[in-house]
Amino acid sequence: MIIMVGISRILSLILLVSSCIFINLSTVPAAATSERKFTWEISYQYKSLDCYKKLAVAINGMTPGPTISAEQGDTIVVDVINNLLMENVAIHWHGIRQRGTRWSDGTDGVTQCAIMPGETYKYTFVVDRAGTFMYHSHYGLQREAGLYGLINVSLPIGVSEPFNYDFDRGIILSDWFHHSAYQHATGLSSITFQWVGEPQSLLINGRGNYSCSGLAASVCNSTNPECLPSALTVISGKTYRLRIASLTSLSALSFQIEDHEMTVVEAEGQYVEPFVVKNLYIYSGETYSVLVKANQDSSRNYWTSINVISRQPKTPNGLAIFNYYPNHFHKFPSTNPPLGPLWNDTRSQIIQSRSIKARQGFVVTPPKKPDRVIVLLNTQNTIDGYIRWSLNNVSHTLPSTPLLIAMKENITDVFDPNPPPEDYDSANYDIYSVPSNTNSVSSSSIYRLEFNSTVDIILQNSNSMTENVSESHPWHLHGHDFWVLGFGEGKFNLSRDNQSYNLVDPIMKNTVPLHPYGWTALRFKADNPGVWLFHCHIEAHFYLGMLVVFESGVEKVGDIPMSNYGCGKTKA
Amino acid sequence: MIIMVGISRILSLILLVSSCIFINLSTVPAAATSERKFTWEISYQYKSLDCYKKLAVAINGMTPGPTISAEQGDTIVVDVINNLLMENVAIHWHGIRQRGTRWSDGTDGVTQCAIMPGETYKYTFVVDRAGTFMYHSHYGLQREAGLYGLINVSLPIGVSEPFNYDFDRGIILSDWFHHSAYQHATGLSSITFQWVGEPQSLLINGRGNYSCSGLAASVCNSTNPECLPSALTVISGKTYRLRIASLTSLSALSFQIEDHEMTVVEAEGQYVEPFVVKNLYIYSGETYSVLVKANQDSSRNYWTSINVISRQPKTPNGLAIFNYYPNHFHKFPSTNPPLGPLWNDTRSQIIQSRSIKARQGFVVTPPKKPDRVIVLLNTQNTIDGYIRWSLNNVSHTLPSTPLLIAMKENITDVFDPNPPPEDYDSANYDIYSVPSNTNSVSSSSIYRLEFNSTVDIILQNSNSMTENVSESHPWHLHGHDFWVLGFGEGKFNLSRDNQSYNLVDPIMKNTVPLHPYGWTALRFKADNPGVWLFHCHIEAHFYLGMLVVFESGVEKVGDIPMSNYGCGKTKA
């Protein structure tokens, strides 16, 4: 009898501990629309996320950072205290459109001066719709140092999702370099270009497992409990909503759970017409909700795995445990973890991209025609011998004066006033070959969009500077969602390919992949006054110029808080 | 004949190359008082200063940085471009009093907001007297990452030094950690305190030689020419003025040249009554000129060495080659390098400190009496479990708003308005024991000094938190020179020990050691309007609170340049 009680207690404890390991998003807020306040201290901390001990940028000692759980309509207030000694910080609330709070977008060089060591900055914004979002550093290469987390916005009490589930869990996917962001950046901006190599590990909820062989235990200890695989504990027969976010610095991923199918139901705050997958392709900056039913053999655990796609993988798959209660949450399945799909099966990636459509009953119909079409050829280039990435042969730079302040206040000489190119020489450009001339130019020019106009963006991929290599690029738009009109292979042809656009039930998203040698067509309404980044979410590509800036209706932006000032030309 | 010419050319080349290896300060400016402009780009670079490859903070790709050579009265203009990606920078011109340019002192938290990445900041100041000075980062622990160099100010043409020499050479001494400044700082501010360990190497002109055994050649390569010992090439019979500066992060040093005596003639811009030494004790932040005659066997080279003193050495001695032309400058002497004095021979260190007096004919007599005496007990402490250093039980902090701006503009709530303590309970404090209660308090309080008043500072050392350990502390005053009135062993007794003050020919300096278990008495006139740091020059001690701030006549400070603003409470 005593023994029985003991076991029961242990099992309860296991259940409690294991649910804590997976980030728990199921807390339903008690009150309606309210203000939720957080105080975050940012500091360097030694972490052994994949058993290898290195410095990480942590929030209140944690990486990934704490999940923000809120209800639609809530105001979020985050006091960010920078304790990084010599390094600044800025935090972007990825997927939050910042309507009415343009200055809170957290993008260094665009909406604010970075927060200096010793300073406290207050982010205030409204989470105006339910869904799965994320936050992360938008400063230098600081995201890859570990500054990221999840934002989970629930519906108001009394409003139901158009699908059913029993529990809600957050899953953060990331990749992990053993080099510091400074080492990474120094290599990227060296002649000759020095690549630090692929990430050492893939992490699921901040846990990976690097092979420590040959390293001192003080540096890498594979028995460190910090790097035990994370576990998602489930109860047989129940349905789980997994809110999955990719915060990778570099890697595109496929996510799968051994022997379990997933139904995709949400993408970045929009309901998806449900479809079933065995693996979910997910690109950096994307979030999805999938439903998983715990309908397999409950006497054992199963593997969850992630693997690198659309880039020759040199990083081992990341693993976690799909734990059927009451099995021990750290009991490794005796089966082999799922390997995931072939990294270069681009066709299947495009098929999944095309499958993501707005859910019937929740379709927001796009305008029939755009007012303007901007075609962006994505290329890898050189400028004075340095490797860069460019759009229509322009590699973009951000000034040290935030553009939102500069444009609203007419501070001169901050950016190039000449408009950047809206197209490239499509007829004569061979997207399948290494360009014979890789030279490009650097510019701080801006696309100025008529307020409330409808803009189409055609992203066109090409061969990189390496033969037979075209990298995928996850493009992310700040301040807006766009309609995803289509994906294609090869070179986009406006008069032909716009016939294939999905104008019936396109999903609205803020991040979308551009597939190797392919094109992606987007449409958005420039209806959010401000200055907004649109960029590749691979941190190194962004650092090397793979971004554009959109301005629209900046004169309508209200008073920018003084705390956003202080750098570049915004000193007293 | 052809062979002879060939050899002669090779020898000339060797001479040329080897003089370049030691920093050459002998260039005499052609014009009288003028403006000297420099543009410095600060960036992270991979360096192998001691054969071990790591990131360093470099100026125009160099560490140590370029020497500033100027003539007395020149205006120096340095445009500092911060290309550190995420890290700020501030540069202090150590020994330059900044009369009339208080805002150019380069101290983060005191005179300016640190320079953010992407920004350019212009330092402008006059080098108003001849001598040997230095510059270095005054931001976080950035100095130890390699941001430092020499300032050599020569007399106006036609004015002679009171001693003779043939050539002039700069020698920068430093210590070198393989850890990053972020790793160092994270350890220092952890519970429990984590010390990264002693520096891996001592460097002479940026070169050391770490034992690479067991490390991959890509990480540490002992045949890398970057870490060949530096060479000082001399011609037999000539006299050399060595301008020696210690930029160590931690280590107090002894400097010696095998079989050669040195005559000390200058300290920090003041002439020293000449005295001869076999080894020169030099503390972080100090500069000296010594004369060395190349009067030994010219058929061979000799060793130059530095060794750690006043702290149990765990870092191997640093070595360079004293190269008699025409021997090859990289031919190692077959003799053993001088070991230097015993690390704990405190008595001999005090004797040398007392030997440094103003040169006859150049004595500036100090005021006979002080208007105020401030006694500062130096202790190692804990606050909430964190290790700190304190003065009279106060561990000082700097605000994120520069004090010079805050005090001049009456910006409130930036610092603690209560004055810090001027003394400690001398009668009851046992300086020879680990304190029973190590608790201390943190404060941003300021010593406000009447303008033009004469202030005595008594630095009192004590036992650290480790039994039988009292560390030496090199104290550095910004904006002023002080008279060095005396050094003593044990506990200072005002009524007894002020009788021993040297009021006849005390040297004026800006940096002075406080010896283990000893005291040091200083006097200065608060005649430079502004806000000025006085602090231990050991970077980690400064970081942990071993500093005080002096304000005097801040209302007389002219308009502070707008470029100093932008952080803390000085935003637009």
Is B566 in contact with A570 (Cβ distance < 8 A)? yes
Two tokens, residue A222? 């594979």
> Please, are residues B174 and B208 in contact by the beta-carbon 8 Å criterion?
no
Q: What residues make up the domain containing B376?
A: 372-564
**Are A431 and A398 in a shared domain?**
yes
Cβ distance B6 to B14 under 8 Å? no
Cβ pair A570:B572 closer than 8 A: yes
Do B181 and A114 count as a contact with CB atoms less than 8 A apart? no
Distance (Å) from the C-alpha of residue B465 to the closest C-alpha of chain A? 25
Q: Are the Cβ atoms of A186 and B55 closer than 8 angstroms?
A: yes
Q: Are residues B338 and B395 in the same domain?
A: no
pLDDT one-digit tens code per residue, A135-191? 999 999 999 999 999 999 999 999 999 999 999 999 999 999 999 999 999 999 998
Would you place residue B193 in the very low, low, confident or very high pLDDT band (cuts 50, 70, 90)?
confident
Domain-embedded: residue B342: yes
In this structure, the answer to whether residues B451 and B520 fall within a common structural domain is yes
Selecting from B45, B140, B186 the residue whose C-beta is nearest the C-beta of A46 gives: B186
Are A289 and A398 in a shared domain? Answer: no
Contacts of B185 in chain A (CB under 8 A): 44, 85
In a domain, A560, yes or no: yes
Are B29 and B13 in contact by the 8 Å Cβ rule? The answer is: no
Find, in chain B, the residue whose alpha carbon is nearest to that of A89: B86
C-beta atoms of A118 and B142 within 8 A: no
CA dist., res. A143 & res. A249, Å (int)? 7
Interface test mutation site (partner A, options B53, B54, B85, B89, max chain A beta carbons within 10 A): B85
**Is residue B316, in this structure, part of any structural domain at all?**
yes
A310-355 pLDDT tens trace: 999 999 999 999 999 999 999 999 999 999 999 999 999 999 999 9
Residue B141 distance to chain A (closest CA, Å): 8
Query: Which pLDDT score is estimated for B195?
Result: 87
Contacts of B411 by beta carbon, 8 Å cutoff, 6+ apart: B401, B405, B569, B570
A347 and A399 share one domain: no
Smallest Cα distance from A377 to chain B, Å: 27
pLDDT range class, residue B32, cuts 50, 70, 90:
low
- Residue B88 pLDDT > 80: yes
Cβ contact (<8 Å) for A85 and B182?
Answer: yes
Judge: B186–A44 Cβ closer than 8 Å, yes or no: yes
| Token output for A36 | 């939720």
A167-176 and A23-24 strand pairing: antiparallel
Mutation site, A86, A195, A414, A560, interface B, largest B CB count within 10 A: A86
The minimal CB distance from A565 to the residues B119, B181, B572 is found for B572
Looking at beta carbons, which residues of chain B come within 8 Å of A140? 85-86, 117
Beta-carbon contacts below 8 Å between A and B: 123
Q: Rounded to the nearest 10 degrees, how much is the dihedral formed by the CA atoms of A489, A494, A497, A503?
A: 120
Asked if A113 and B116 come within 8 Å (Cβ–Cβ), the reply is yes
Q: Work out the burial of residue B537: count CB atoms within 10 Å of its CB; fewer than 13 is exposed, 13-18 middle, 19 or more buried.
A: buried
**Could A566 and B562 be called an inter-chain contact, meaning their C-beta atoms sit closer than 8 Å?**
no
d(CA A35, CA A76): 6
Question: At A351, is the secondary structure helix, strand, or coil?
Answer: helix
| Residue B241: both structure tokens together | 């003025």
Q: Which of A193-197, B403-407, B540-544 has the lowest mean pLDDT?
A: A193-197
Percent of all residues in chain B with a pLDDT value above 90, rounded to a whole number: 92
Q: How far is B186 from chain A (nearest CA, A)?
A: 6
Residue B400 lies in a domain: yes
**Residues of chain A that touch chain B, judged by Cβ-Cβ distance less than 8 Å:** 43-46, 55, 85-88, 109, 113-114, 116-119, 139-142, 180-183, 185-186, 399-400, 562-563, 565-568, 570-572
Mark whether A324 and A411 lie in a shared domain.
no
Using a 10 angstrom Cβ sphere, with 0-12 exposed, 13-18 middle and 19 or more buried, the burial of residue B345 is middle
Amino acid at A418: N
Scanning every residue of chain A, which has its alpha carbon at the shortest distance from the alpha carbon of B115?
Answer: A567
- Give the confidence band of B23 by pLDDT, cuts at 50, 70, 90: very low
Pairwise CB contact (< 8 Å): B571 & A568: no
Residues of B in Cβ contact (< 8 Å) with A186: 43-46, 55
Structural domain ending residue among the three candidates B326, B355, B384: B355
Q: Angle at the Cα of B408 (from B407 to B413), degrees rounded to 5?
A: 30
Beta carbons within 8 Å of B213's beta carbon, 6+ residues apart = none
pLDDT confidence of residue B460: 98
Query: CA-based Rg of chain A, rounded to a whole angstrom?
Result: 23
Looking at the structure, tell me whether residues B385 and B344 fall in a common domain: no
Q: How far is B37 from chain A (nearest CA, A)?
A: 22
Q: Can you say how many angstroms the Cα of residue A379 is from the centroid of all Cα atoms in its chain?
A: 21
Position B6 pLDDT exceeds 80: no
Same domain, B178 and B298: yes
Q: Are residues A327 and A220 in the same domain?
A: yes
Contact across the interface for A566 and B563, Cβ inside 8 Å: no
Closest residue in B to A398 (Cα) is: B118
Residue A542, classified by CB atoms within 10 Å of its CB into exposed (0-12), middle (13-18) or buried (19+), is buried
How many domains does the structure of chain A reveal?
Answer: 2
The CATH number of whichever domain residue A280 belongs to comes to 2.60.40.420
Rounded to a whole number, what is the distance in Å from the CA of B180 to chain A's nearest CA?
10
B124 falls within a domain: no
CA distance to B36, B54, B134, per residue, from B137 (Å): 20, 18, 11
Q: Tell me the C-alpha to C-alpha distance, in Å, between residue B544 and each of B57, B110, B414, B538, B547.
A: 22, 16, 19, 10, 9
pLDDT at B546: 98
For residue A9, is it within any domain? no
Enter the tokens of residue A537.
Answer: 């979410």
Domain co-membership, B188 together with B300? yes
Same domain for A382 and A308? no
Give the one of B85, B139, B563 whose C-beta lies nearest to A571's C-beta: B563
CB A169 within 8 A of CB A240: yes
Average pLDDT, integer, range B229-239: 97
Chain B residues bordering chain A (beta-carbon distance below 8 Å)? 43-46, 55, 85-88, 109, 113-114, 116-119, 139-142, 180-183, 185-186, 190, 399-400, 562-563, 565-568, 570-572
Of B533, B534, B481, residue with least CA distance to B510: B481
| Residue in A45, A55, A566 closest to B572 by CB | A566
Q: Residue B142 domain-assigned?
A: no
| Residues in chain B within 8 Å Cβ distance of A218 | none
Q: Which of B47, B86, B562 to mutate to test the interface with A (most CBs of A within 10 A)?
A: B86
Q: Are residues B217 and B265 in the same domain?
A: yes
Q: Which of A95-104, A276-285, B8-17, B394-403 has the lowest mean pLDDT?
A: B8-17
CB A51 within 8 A of CB A225: no
* pLDDT (0 to 100) of residue A6: 39
pLDDT for the residue A1:
31
Closest alpha carbon to A244 in A225, A226, A266: A266
| Three-state secondary-structure class, residue B69 | strand
**pLDDT tens over chain A, length 572 residues:** 333 333 444 444 344 334 434 444 444 444 456 999 999 999 999 999 999 999 999 999 999 999 999 999 999 999 999 999 999 999 999 999 999 999 999 999 999 999 999 999 999 999 999 999 999 999 999 999 999 999 999 999 999 999 999 999 999 999 999 999 999 999 999 988 888 889 999 999 999 999 999 899 999 999 999 999 999 999 999 999 999 999 999 999 999 999 999 999 999 999 999 999 999 999 999 999 999 999 999 999 999 999 999 999 999 999 999 999 999 999 999 999 999 999 999 999 999 999 999 999 999 999 999 999 999 999 999 999 999 999 999 999 999 999 999 999 999 899 999 999 999 999 999 999 999 999 999 999 999 999 999 999 999 999 999 999 999 999 999 999 999 999 999 999 988 999 999 999 999 999 999 999 999 999 999 999 999 999 999 999 999 999 999 999 999 999 999 999 999 999 96
| Interface ipTM above 0.90 | yes
The reply to whether B118 falls in a domain is no
Residues B497-513 pLDDT 10s: 999 999 999 999 999 99
Are B572 and A563 a contacting pair at CB < 8 A?
A: no
Asked if B118 and A44 come within 8 Å (Cβ–Cβ), the reply is: no
What does the alpha-carbon distance between residue B566 and residue B531 come to, in Å, rounded to a whole number?
Answer: 18
Chain B residues whose beta carbon lies within 8 Å of the beta carbon of residue A44: 182, 185-186
Q: Looking at residue B28, what DSSP letter applies? A: P
Six token digits for residue A154: 């629930």
* A45 contacts in chain B (CB < 8 Å): 186
Euclidean distance between CA atoms B106 and B89, whole angstroms: 9
Contact A119 B568 (CB under 8 A): yes
Taken in order A151, A156, A158, A162, is the CA torsion positive or negative? Answer: negative
B86's CB contacts (< 8 A; 6+ apart) are A87, A88, A114, A139, A140, A141, A142, A181, A182, B117
Tell me what pLDDT residue B196 has.
Answer: 85
Decide which of B355, B384, B412 is a domain's last residue.
B355
CB neighbours of residue B302 within 10 Å? 24
Indicate the residue type of A48: S
